[in-house]
Structure 1
Amino acid sequence: MVVSRLHGGNTGSSCRLQMALAAMLGTVLLCTVMSKGAIPADTLSFRGNVKVLVGWVGHDFNEGRPPSGLSLEEATKVASDNFGNLMWALGARHLVDHNATELVNLLRPPFTLPGVHAVLMPTANLLTNLSMYKYFQGYTKVIATIARAQPPDTPILVIGIGTQVQFDDLRPSSTGTEAARLDVSRASEVQLPPEQVSFLKRVLASGGIITTRGRLTAAVITASGLPPPLPLGCPSLFLNHNPRLGARLQQKWDAVLRQRDPNLRLAITMPAVPGELEDFFRPIVQMLSDRIFKVFPNSVAILQTKRDIDTLDWFHERHDLYLREGRVRYYYDPQSWFDSLKSSFDFVFGFRIHGTMAGVASEVPGLVIATDLRIRELADSMIIPTIDMDKANLKPESFDLFDFIESVPSYGNKFDARRREVAKVYAREFKRLGVPLNPGIASIARLKDSELAAEEE
């Protein structure tokens, strides 16, 4: 839905510092756990034939699509403080075959149900260095409590877990803002809190799986003495089941560079700007104002958090840029996000990995500028076009969008090959655990080398 800065339709969110976000996630889960009563009887009923009962620990999509026209404040109450989180949760939810499974919410006491065959637990920002554990303690306690409540032989599937370490935990930095290299050899320098190690051991003891958002998180877990997990990236990689999605994205990417159209329809995701780093991000905001929004009349700011409104204020107060209604949008319903991108945009450019993944799901090419370890790890794991912010030429006086796009390695044939590789792992593990896999993902897993080769031709 199109929204002004104060009013919206199926869009919205608020930005926190990374550590505060983790604390907020724990608070949200705790509030959900403590405030809701018994599970409604109709949650346990099956439609048609008996289905495999799978416990769900994540965003509740069962209440249907939220109403249009909500303000930003209203939207955050019905969706999420960061709408990018919806991509993660929806991707995890659609890993299963909904014709063969019934997902039941386990966020309410007693956190388990008779007959639950497995538990699906999408868990993004959790693992952290011991020094920062106080920000993650509440969230850790909630999911650990749910894990312990399950019968010992009920497999737990932790999907996409990631490290929330600071740059300084892995590499000395004068500012703490440099895009750190994925130097897995230094993963042992991250000391996980005992409570988090205990949670991971409980998952493994259940016979389930731990997938991580990338190699760095996998190395951190292994360095803590645990078996290697599965570095599969974000489950939103499979929101679109086109087996040749990468080829389609590459065609559109090439068309953008070939045409170099000043009327290019751009979806711009805002950088998350922590308050203490405003000076560092000031040139980035100026570049967006002077070299994107003032140059491309069909560029639109996509808000994912309430803090993004502060960036809009910067545009107005410091760069004499006021984006008219229609050039600022936010989406608090994933389907509205997909529909809008597919019908109204040619390219996604910006600083939010899940804004880029919404484009991937909508077959709209894009790139993400990695401002932190989380973005870099996810993008590398899924072969999403990316560049570290400290390597990118984002100078306001010289930035050229098309030259910049051309300088970033694009999807090529590696994206589809990687997606098939990840799909095969899901197919193998879901079969082992007796959890029906989404047929669209299964079809990607069955692709043969010859089919991918034909795609390249």
Structure 2
Amino acid sequence: MPRLLIRSGKSPLTVLSHEQSLAASQLGVFGSNSGNILFYSAVDRVLSVPGTELVPNSYVTERPAVNRDYVARINEEFDGFVLPMANSYRDTFLAHLERQAWVIENLKIPVTVIGIGAQLPYGTDFDTLPDEYVRVVTRFTRAVLDRSASIGVRGEYTAKMLRHMGFGDEHVRVIGCPSMFGNGQLGPLVKKVDRLEASSRLAINYTPKVKGVSKLVMANTGKYANSVVVPQQHSRLALMLWGENPARVPDKNMPIHTDHPLYREDRMRFFVDQRTWVEFMAEQDFCFGTRIHGNVAGVLAGTPSVVLAHDSRTAEMSEYHGIPWRLYSDLPPDVDAATLYEEADFDEFGKRQPETFARFVSFLEENDLPHVFQPGNENPEYDRALAKAKFPGPVHTLMADGEVGREQVMSRLRWLRQGHAGDSMRPEYAFERPFLDEKPSPTGAGLVKQIAVLEKEVTRLRKEMHKLQTAPAAARTTLTKVPRRLQPVARRVVRAVQERLR
């Protein structure tokens, strides 16, 4: 069975609670931005042909913990490494990108990058790019192309940048973002209502660092009573789950703290799975904001969406896919959703679909990646499993009302309350007794009873030790029965047991 290592936080079929999704790593299971869920879930489904195993890498290959032993395991255990990516050509990601480049340079298996893009200030001249940026981007791209037929980028802007660095059109394919193709070619975007009213259901996404965006949020949530904001950063999930405020709130109008009216009114929703996100977006009349994948979620649901582009990546991806977009700096900061809805041209999106989907499929086949859109490679079992999965749904704030609010608070309490032993070992809010008195030593019948209990425990531990001591020998005996392809893995298990016994 072919095995592919895939750059993702988890399998889309794995169900985690809201609390688990945040606690899975320092940046959450989705790697700091929940928008990542959309494109890695799409690639997972597209490549899930019967007989192929896809294994999430949990983003380890780009983190400081990666070493030569880990890379050796990839070479030994996998037939390919697939990297669904986003705006990874950016200055704040260079250290991660260079570690990823080092891993790829040491791989002997095919490597495929799907949907990488540049993030630069809108209109950046490529001659002004910093030397370090050019060096790391060049190193990563060259490492990938040494192990693949081509590299898939998000839009024409990124392709032009790579061309400027010496990577020709023979190796660079503009394929957009894979998040758009998880279920094949999408249909047209059709307005659900003629015009927006005060009661219309709106989903607003925002990027806190974008200048003036708090005015956009406050103006539209104030006018449209049924509007909600959909944050994407892991820190916002911590805010909603645990009331964890940032160390500093430079703009009180930004919904990033527990005193904000949108938090208090439970008008915030966070998603930790692709399916529940898209299902929620299908219930909305309109979606807009500065987050590209916040709007992609709307498009996937067939909900009219408008991107307020604020840099190269949001503009190039919107333009390539035909998603309606406006340059945010050209608009009033508090632009009315009704104006965006009325002025948007939603027709171009449907027209672009046949071409963009064909390009994506062609890229997969050029890189020898079988996919579910090929006749005979369909995988209905995957879709049935996804439909049956009991995902936890949208995250509400701690102020949520009604049954949903009570259930979510109970879930968080269960996560916190993990028995008396866990409570007694808490590093925070621990009770320190002012006077510790020693318990009297047991005597008579009490002492005899304690000795009997201890003897029984010693007998149990001796049996466990005997099992552990015989485990390596038993493992070596059965090692010859393991298929040749899996024997290296089995040997490592045996060695690990032996090390523990020493």
- TM-score band w.r.t. shorter chain: 0.5 to 0.7
Q: What is the rounded CA distance, in whole Å, between the counterparts of 2:256 and 2:31 in structure 1?
A: 28
Give the distance between the partners of 1:433 and 1:71, measured in 2 at CA: 32
Which of residues 53, 56, 72 in structure 1 aligns to 2:3?
Answer: 53
Contact 1:213–1:378 (CA<8 Å) still a contact in 2? yes
Which residue number corresponds to residue 145 of structure 1? 102
Deviation digits for residues 97-154 of structure 1, max 9, x if unmatched?
43242223454442524474432112323335xxx5xx44421232112212322xx3
**Which runs of 5 or more residues in structure 1 are unaligned?**
1-49, 168-179, 275-279, 444-457
Specify which of 349, 366, 384 is matched with residue 305 of structure 2.
Answer: 366
Q: 1-side partners of 2:351 and 2:313: how far apart? A: 22
The answer to whether the 8 Å contact 1:60/1:105 transfers is: yes
CA contact (8 A) 1:289 1:321 kept: no
The aligned runs of 1:156-195 (5 Å cut-off) are 156-165=111-120, 167=121, 180-181=122-123, 186-190=125-129, 192-195=133-136
Closer/same/farther in 2, CA of residues 207 and 288 from structure 1, 3 Å limit: closer
Cα RMSD over matched residues?
A: 3.3
1:262-277 matches, cutoff 5 A: 262-273=198-209
1:364 Cα shift?
1.9
> What code does the residue aligned with 1:55 have?
L
Using the TM superposition, give the Cα deviation of residue 442 of structure 1 relative to its aligned residue in structure 2, in angstroms: 11
Counterparts in 2 of 1:53-452, with a 5 A limit? 53-61=3-11, 64-68=14-18, 76-105=27-56, 107=61, 108-110=70-72, 112-114=74-76, 116-128=78-90, 132=91, 135-151=92-108, 154-165=109-120, 167=121, 180-181=122-123, 186-190=125-129, 192-228=133-169, 229-241=172-184, 243=185, 245-247=186-188, 249-250=189-190, 253=191, 255-256=192-193, 258-273=194-209, 280-281=211-212, 284-290=213-219, 292-305=220-233, 313-314=252-253, 322-323=261-262, 324-342=264-282, 344-394=283-333, 396=334, 399-410=335-346, 412=347, 414-439=348-373
Contact preservation (8 Å) 1:304, 1:330: yes
SS at match of 2:277: helix
User: Per the alignment, do residues 317 and 55 of structure 1 end up closer, same or farther by CA in structure 2, a change over 3 Å counting?
Assistant: closer
Cα distance change of structure 1 residues 326 and 145 upon mapping to structure 2, 3 Å threshold: same
The count of corresponding residues between Structure 1 and Structure 2 is 348
After TM superposition, give the deviation of residue 208 of structure 1 in Å: 3.0
Stretch moving more, 432-441 or 370-379: 432-441
Is the radius of gyration larger for structure 1 or structure 2? 2
- d(CA) in 2 for partners of 1:423 and 1:434? 17
Please state whether the residue corresponding to 2:342 is helix, strand or coil.
Answer: helix
In structure 1, what residue type is equivalent to 2:138?
Answer: V
- Cα deviation for residue 312 of structure 1 reads 8.9
- Cα distance in 2 for partners of 1:317, 1:221 equals 36
**Deviations for 1:245-287, whole angstroms, at most 9, x for unmatched residues?**
342x22xx2x33x14332111111123226xxxxx42xx4234
Report the TM-score when normalising by structure 1.
0.67
Give the structure 2 partner of residue 28 of structure 1: none
Measured at CA, do residues 161 and 384 of structure 1 come closer, stay the same or move farther in structure 2, by a change above 3 Å?
same
Residue by residue over 1:137-196, the C-alpha shift from the partner in whole angstroms, topping out at 9 and shown as x without a partner, is 421232112212322xx332111112233x2xxxxxxxxxxxx24x7xx43443543343
CA shift, 1:384, in A, is 1.0
Q: Distance in 1 between matches of 2:4 and 2:256?
A: 51
Q: Distance in 1 between matches of 2:340 and 2:376?
A: 36
Q: Distance in 1 between matches of 2:376 and 2:198?
A: 40
Q: Which has the higher contact order (CA 8 A, sep 6+)?
A: 1
- Whether contact under 8 Å (1:214, 1:231) holds in the other structure is yes
Q: Is the 8 A contact 1:97 1:438 kept in 2?
A: yes
- Verify the 8 A CA contact 1:126 1:163 in the aligned structure 2: yes
Aligned 8 A contact 2:205 2:229 in 1:
yes
Q: 1:416 to 1:118 in 2, by over 3 A?
A: farther
- Supply the distance in 2 between the matched residues of 1:441 and 1:393 (Cα, whole angstroms): 49
Which runs of 5 or more residues in structure 2 are unaligned? 62-69, 240-248, 378-502
Could you tell me how far 1:336 is from its partner in structure 2? 2.0
Give the residue type in structure 2 aligned to 1:433.
Answer: N
How many angstroms apart in 2 are the aligned matches of 1:115 and 1:334?
Answer: 28
Q: 1:316 to 1:240 in 2, by over 3 A?
A: closer
1:235 partner amino acid: P
